[in-house]
Structure 1
Amino acid sequence: MTFKEILNIELYNKGDFTLTVYNIFLILVVILVTLISLKIIRRFFKRFIKREESERSSYWSVYLILRYVVWVIIIIFLLESSGLKVSVLLASITALLVGVGFGIQQLFSDLASGIVLLVERNLQLNDVIQIQDGTVGRVIHIGLRTSRLKTRDDIILVVPNSKFVNDKIINWSHMDYNTRFSVDVGVAYGSDTKLVTKILLDCAAKNGNVSAAPKPFVRFNNFGDSALEFQIFFWVRESFWVENTKSEMRYAIDDEFRKNGVQIPFPQRDIHIKSTVDQNKTH
């Protein structure tokens, strides 16, 4: 038996569809060539990413779109080469989808949202975002149906892409290079407000994560029920770890307050009891 005869061996035959050894061989070769080609293209894109770090997300989005388009073309080609009529197959799939449309509506919504994200590029790799439930994370992967976030607790969160399109999302990375945050603090009545302001500014200046420009500033917010309420505003370059920066600031403020005799009061109430016992006796 010759090699050509081996390739022509029929493995499955039903109606107009015939599957031969040649078809299986062709499918394997095409998939292998496609995988190798995509790997080469990925290396090509990585070179550009290293040269143009600022355009990293853009290059990666283009690569993802290209990869999906290539696989769609390859699948259609393989189906046609195997003897399957793509038009007939699509018609059958469409009829099936109509019947189960409500069940997979969310799936198609996520897929469509993934395409929107890749085209509009409102969400990109390494963006620091805050989703609607308050969770803050860094984008480490953008897929066609889902994306992955790495939270501040080093937890990988898988989020459907429709959440990014339909919900309100705060993208900290789309703001200025420096992002402003604040720490609230209250001091006891009678404290030297000028000294408190100086301590807060010094603590911000000594923190390595706080940007020197714009300069931090202090706001005397209010005369509270139990304290004089201050707020120190500062800018940071790395917003993802800002909660750690805030914690460091609070430690430093507490130490400096202790050294300078500035007290942080606790909520308190003065209760005045008026006795009516003596008045009742006189009557």
Structure 2
Amino acid sequence: MMEEIKNFWLDIKSALEFKLFEIQDYSISLYNILIVVLVFIAIRLLVNGLERLLKRQLSDKKNFTEGKLIAFTKIGKYIIYVLGFILALKSVNINITPILIGSSALFVGLGFGLQEAFRDFVAGIMLLFEGDVMVGDVVEMENETVGVVKQINLRTSKVRTRDGIMMIVPNSQLTNDRVINWSNSNRLTRFRVDVGVAYGSDTKLVEKLLLECADKEETITERIKPFVMFQNFGDSSLDFSLYFWSEEVWRIERTKSRLRFSIDQAFRDNKVTIPFPQRDLHFKSKDISLKD
């Protein structure tokens, strides 16, 4: 029995030592391939275990946000992948020292070309650790695009707009540009709807109608009363603004649209006119005498 086991092991060893190819002093055997496969399986198991461990150990801490948890997990994954890659190269008898020395000049050149990517990478770490922008936040970027942050990676983030478009945004844009995080603001946010009425309109009636329209809108909070500002004597109209507070940040454009419909109907019912822009042109005429 022992002799059979010994012979079986020798057969396996002989099969594993079979060289798939050989170039000068370098060769790869089935044993090397098996080690590489086992290394990558171990890396995968280690990454999954690390993720579960971090979630279990850090999720209970009050000062540890979800962004920091994601940051630690992603950085840990990268470290494990790099170490695993080096170990895999070692297992197939590849010496990485000459590779690193020989490619140092290449790395310098890549460094200049990858400045933007490195800046985005650093910005991603800042976002994940600081938590200024987190997954699920409603943000408004410099180009007035409003969207929900769906994912934050180390280099880019994914933002879904109101139109359902998934935008891939460089993280440096979220840290360096002016970005409004509506979710980090007070739950109650102030908005306004502008409207102009014709000269000669009853301004007190206009104020009353605007406030009545605001009171009818369910998404406008009752905790802070809306108010109307007489903004200006415009070129063609008396300009008013209706200010109100709402928690419906993501759907605020729908609220504004319903308000405009309501205001238009209220003005029609009460004979309040919204004027067209107009320009008065004055021509000076001169008498032209015709001589025969």
Name the TM-score, length of structure 1 as normaliser.
Answer: 0.81
CA distance in structure 2 between the partners assigned to 1:10 and 1:206 by the alignment: 82
Q: 1:239-260 deviations in whole A, cap 9, x for unaligned?
A: 2332222222211211221122
Q: Name which of 194, 208, 218 aligns with 1:198.
A: 208
Q: Determine the structure 1 residue equivalent to 2:29.
A: 20
What SS does the aligned partner of 2:113 have? coil
Q: Which residue type is aligned with residue 96 of structure 1?
A: L
**How far apart, in 2, do the equivalents of 1:168 and 1:16 lie?**
58
Change (3 A) 1:154 1:18: same
**2:18 alignment partner, one of 9, 15, 22:** 9
Q: Contact 2:142 / 2:179 at 8 angstroms: preserved in 1?
A: yes
Which of 83, 89, 95 aligns to 2:105? It is 95
8 A contact 1:61–1:121 mirrored in 2? no
Which residue of 36, 43, 47 corresponds with 1:34? Answer: 43
**Structural mapping, 1:251-270, within 5 Å:** 251-270=261-280
Confirm or deny that 1:221 pairs with 2:231: yes
Name the CA shift for 1:206/1:75 in 2 (closer, same or farther; >3 Å). farther
| 1:186 partner amino acid | G
Alignment partner of 1:65 out of 60, 70, 75 = 75
8 Å Cα contact 1:115/1:144 also seen in 2: yes
- 1:142 aligns to what? 152
Equivalent pair of 2:68/2:131 in contact (CA under 8 Å): yes
Residues 44-83 of structure 1: matches in 2 within 5 Å?
45=55, 55-83=65-93
- For structure 1, which segment, 177-186 or 199-208, has the greater mean C-alpha deviation from structure 2 after superposition? 199-208
Distance across 2 between alignment mates of 1:140 and 1:109:
21
Shift of 1:264: 0.8
**From 130, 154, 160, the counterpart of 2:164:** 154
Identity %: 42
Question: Retained in 1: the 8 A contact 2:158–2:167?
Answer: yes
Instruction: Specify whether residues 89 and 248 from structure 1 end up closer, same or farther in structure 2 by C-alpha distance, changes over 3 A only.
Output: farther
Confirm whether residue 127 of structure 1 aligns to residue 137 of structure 2.
yes
8 A Cα contact 1:65 1:118, kept in partner: no
Q: Distance in 2 between matches of 1:251 and 1:181?
A: 17
Q: 1:272 to 1:107 in 2, by over 3 A?
A: closer
How far residue 267 of structure 1 moved from its aligned partner, in angstroms, is 1.1
**1:173 alignment partner, SS class:** coil
Range moving further from structure 2, 96-105 or 37-46? 37-46
User: Hey, what does 1:208 align to over in structure 2?
Assistant: 218
What are structure 2's unaligned runs of at least 5 residues?
A: 1-9
Q: Which residue of 2 aligns with 1:108?
A: 118
Structure 1 residue 84 corresponds to structure 2 residue 94: yes
Are the equivalent residues in 1 in contact too, given 2:71–2:125 (CA < 8 A)? no
Gaps of 5+ in 1: none
**1:235 corresponding residue in structure 2:** 245
User: Which protein has the larger Cα radius of gyration, Structure 1 or Structure 2?
Assistant: 2
Q: Does the residue aligned with 1:2 lie in a helix, a strand or coil? A: helix
> How many aligned positions are there?
279
TM-score for both structures, normalised by structure 2: 0.79
Instruction: Summarize the Cα distance change of 1:75–1:238 in structure 2 as closer, same or farther, 3 Å threshold.
Output: farther
**CA positional deviation for 1:64:** 2.9
Q: Which residue does 2:192 correspond to in 1?
A: 182
Question: What is the root-mean-square deviation of aligned Cα atoms in Å?
Answer: 3.3
Amino acid at match of 2:252: V
